[in-house]
Structure 1
Amino acid sequence: MHSFAKKMMQLPLTVSLYGMKHLADLVVHPSTSQASPDLIRRFESQFVTFMRDALIAGDRLAEEKLDPLLHAFTPNGLGSGHLYKTGIDAVRVIAEGLSARVQGSGRELVWQELGNKLQSFGTFRYVESVLDISRRSDMALSTLVQKTNACDSYNKVWATEGLGHFYTEWVWQDGQVPEHLLTDETLTGLPVSCMVALHAGMGLSLAKHCLEDVTKKSERKEIEKVVVRFIELCTDNARPGFVGISFEALGLIVQTLYPTLRLLFDQVLHKHAPNLLGLYWHGIGRGSYFMPRSSLTWDKTDWASLRAPHELGQMNLYAGLAWPVTLVNIRHPEVMAHFIARNGEFFEANDAFASGIAAALVVWRHSTGGDEYLDRFCSFQPHTNNQMLRRRWADWIQLPSQIALPQVFNLVQEHQCFDVLFYYQSQRDLLKTLETA
């Protein structure tokens, strides 16, 4: 392991948490609003340095095989995640506090985006803390899902996805192999609105465990066995029309934990399961948004790494990337506008990114029943004289959503085939697929 990463992991956890909480209290304290712009800029600069060092360490840690670290992210690890959730919340409060303190600088949206990422990730990853689940809790999935009703619509989606992951992890930790987790007859009473998120979370756990013995030196035969096993688990545990959602998680896990093996998995799928390639690269795109280095801003290095070896992969990569950019920031459409203003040139050549946005909005409507965030996002108009941005917003978000939300939504609801939204299709082709389902 890199020496810097070792030092990061050796820091006293409680000291780090108390320090971050103290900084968070300072940033949001009313007296801070009277601080000079120069003082705020100095604090912001120091926080950026801290974040960059932490994110570089995160990139390096992702390349290492760290069983003790991975164990910390399971239901049995470190107080079921309460300490980690506290740390994430502290960083989120600082980011959101900076966003409020630097209004008008152009940097406020960068901090708001980071705050949104930490909010969604923290709710998903440490759902047991959010919903106050303990080993003494009733672990029936239907009971756990009911607990999400205490959340607002935004956090409920991430908490439900977190439950899909948490519940599957709990089964693994109990020494069992997951079987019929979401197809069991006892789950017929679960609201269908939670199914996309549950399948997505379950897929992440299945993928992580199938790949737990994989290393950078793994050979093709080992990867082939992993893929076969993962397909079997997804098929056995997912409902028809949702299987592809769980399988798409393979790409996200490969991208975030095994990025050097992306092409090897692509080659194996191309030979043995070519019909799943689109889902795989869609997951890679979705995972790219959560890579540590891209947590603050995207630069040319980040975009250079977002390349697939074929058009199918590239289209799905961009469509997959659109999902978290849209849903993580759905409460703040101005953050999406800022992302498009900075990076829109990369999506001009085709409709993949726009297709991903529309599909994500359909799933959000399904998962929430439609909420104020969706309404505001779809009706938002960028407050700018930038005509290019206004055109892209109209072409990529407003017009596609006007078709997707009534037509695509009604068809996927009717046929219960939500996994068709998890790989790229043009809107016209998607409608044809659904109309002939």
Structure 2
Amino acid sequence: MTAEKKTHERSVTLVNRDRLLERFLRYVQIDTTANPDTDQYPSSPGQRLLGSQLCKELAAMSITDAVQDDHALVWGTVPASDGGNSPTVALVAHLDTSPESPGAGVKPQVIDAYAGGDIPLPAGGQISVASSPSLLELIGKTLVTTDGSTLLGGDDKAGVAIIMELAQTLIENPHLLHGPVRLLFTCDEEIGRGTDKIDLRQVDAMVAYTIDGGGSSMIDVETFSADAATVRFIGHNIHPSIGKGRMVNAIRAACDFVAALPRETCTPETTEDREGFIHAHSIGGGVGEASVEMILRSFDSEDLKRYTQQIETLANKIADQTPGMKVEVSVRRQYRNLREGLEELPESVSFAEEAFVRLGRTPSRMIIRGGTDGSQLTEKGLPTPNLSSGQHNIHAVTEFACLDEMAEAVEHLIEMLSLWSKQKI
């Protein structure tokens, strides 16, 4: 048996599955639901609470620079074991969970050696194989679900637990060679603010990886490019008893605008794979003023300009149909396709692939119909692919995580860090 083969086998057997599971169960029971209706950062107190706990756990591992900063971001560094002169690799996960489903009072249940079939949930409903075909590949694995009344929070507390377990494994096993490993836990990723408070000079890394992907052995190398748009109709309110010829109803115009948006070719309900969309996700206001909140998504950044022109043309057409109606369209840049920045450092992907191969796994390059903290970090100049963390059915009360895939993620990071260790700077 070669020395390289022995090294791989050691990394596989070193992962403490029981401790990894205990971490995960502990983290998901802290409510960290992001709140899009506030300008506070972080947007919910639970994120600061979980971050404080992580900071204490890192310090207990002997990570001397563990700190929770004024923005509730948690930082720390696992010192190099390879003598230095190798690149710093940053590992990133986010503390918040999606506001799209309840996140308080999580009651996790552990299913050992999943036997197959639909999974009944204590609070009602089930995780069906028909709606979750990934279950077919997880027979015999250990799964974690909720009781069916809340999210689990595997997005991204699976990633948090993986990084924390990796850190402790590296510290306990100094024979595992790696350069400096920067740890970063962010807030409010789910509402698009995950990188707002990150100083790349503090990250001080050549490459980063978000541990925020689904399944196992996957590398997300493309994301949507994304803009947000607000279409604001401005009418005139007056008492309805004297409204004839005088009232200009903005909410009616907003409804007409949404109804006139393309339905068959450019909505989340009708697109898949590499197809982009225009998504009206929120409408509100009254007679005097009403707004439609929208997101624009495409893998080709140039499409976003076309989408913007399309909604501006339609909004003006709707306003022109009602004398006295005014309309304003504002578009805000969010993030750009991960691919555009990863091309600057191809090793960010190839080393991740090679690490999977060294472990006897077949890697898959994937695209995300969404974005990650890595989308924005990459755009800012820090190449940041996204790696698997065993998440499934994210943002739904049928969410679940696979412990086996989480352990595999720790193993993969050990192998990948050893590859970066060989790159001297």
Greater relative contact order (Cα 8 A, min sep 6): structure 1 or 2? 2
Q: Which has the larger radius of gyration?
A: 2
Normalising by structure 2, we get a TM-score of 0.27
More strand by share: 2
Q: TM-score, normalised by structure 1?
A: 0.26
